[in-house]
Amino acid sequence: MNSRRDFLQKITGSALGLSLLSTSSNGNTLIEDANQEPVLRVAIMGLGSYGTRVAEAMKDCKRAKLVGVISGTPSKVKDWQSKYSIPAKNCYNYENFDNIKNNPDIDAVYIITPNALHREQCIRVAKAGKHVICEKPMAINAAEGQEMVDACKRANVKLLVGYRMHLEPKTLEIIRMRNEGEFGKVLFFQGLCGFRIGDPNQWRLNKQLAGGGAMMDIGIYAVNGARYMVGEEPTYVTAQETKTDFVKFKEGVDETIQFQFGFPSGAVASCLSTYSMNNLDRFFLNGEKGFAEMQPSTGYGPIKAKTNKGELNHPHITHQTVQMDEMAGMILNEKKPIVPVDGEEGLKDLKIIDAIYLAIKTGKKVDLKL
């Protein structure tokens, strides 16, 4: 896991099947495989534990390739150069990465840095004319998220958010069953997301970098999951915060939040976000005719899921491998996912999180207009 200092300091891949070239809509040359499918060339910004996970997963991608890095830690850049065969001309730091605008070998940048840095970094990448993939939460509030969406629209580049669960097979099967009425009218959703966080000095417990606490890191899975499992947008939220450790969880850094949604159909949701309890990674959807249960529901896998009709047995494929291949199709071929992963989707979650914090502050129900 990256330290705060690392973030604030200012490939391996076979040539076989990657020899054909074409030109993208923005004039960049795109690698193509033997089947004439263009390959998305990605630079990862932020070389911490999750950046490493994505890089390792991309080794198995067919349509996405790691070609560059952006980091404030020279030693990490050197290590990644060696490990993933990244040329020096595709390596940047946080001061000079605007120069990617002059690099035709990079199509997109995947931003995997602390939440509070996403806005500025996204806008800079967009101004450089490169597509943006950004980890969730997309920003620390809806106002910043809107700026990111607007910047990418102005630059005519795509903005995608790392919603890997939107592309996970068992999740998509439950969504299919719901859409086809197999559960009947949806009545209730429960989302439990949490773990006991360790190092008290990490950036995730620093409000200036994280924008909050558990809600911004793990709670967003329940926020987002309620939406794609129920299949509607919530119209209101109520929320309550509990804090037991005022040393680790300082002002503005939430430890545990319970929150509830109401939906237009009358369905309701009850969710929990916490940094102080383990064994919480469960989704449950209840309808008039059936149910779906996922546990684990959002972890790196394998996801385990069952419905009233039995267990789901889809094979596990590394989530980030699927995500990057699918996002390559979205960027290069305008492929439309079943559940959106674009900046507008990320903005909706931020509006809801803003409302959750407001509901806690005021003690009142907060109406949502998404």
* Residue numbers annotated as active site: 136, 221
Interstrand relation of 64-70 and 38-45 (parallel, antiparallel or unpaired): parallel
Backbone angles phi, psi at 288, to 5 degrees: -65, -30
Sequence-distant (≥ 6) Cβ neighbours of residue 325 within 8 angstroms: 61, 62, 63, 64
Question: What are the tokens at 247?
Answer: 């040393």
Q: Which residues of 27-38 are buried (b: 16+ CB within 10 A; e: fewer)?
A: ebebbbeeeebb
- Asked if residue 363 lies in contact with residue 150, where contact means CB atoms within 8 angstroms, the answer is no
Cis peptide before 169 (omega within 30 of 0): no
Question: What are the tokens at 243?
Answer: 């804090």
Distance separating alpha carbons of residues 252 and 77, to the nearest angstrom? 33
Interstrand relation of 108-111 and 131-134 (parallel, antiparallel or unpaired): parallel
- Asked if residue 255 lies in contact with residue 243, where contact means CB atoms within 8 angstroms, the answer is yes
Question: What are the tokens at 269?
Answer: 């949701």
Residues in the chain: 370
Give Cα 144 distance to the centre of its chain.
16
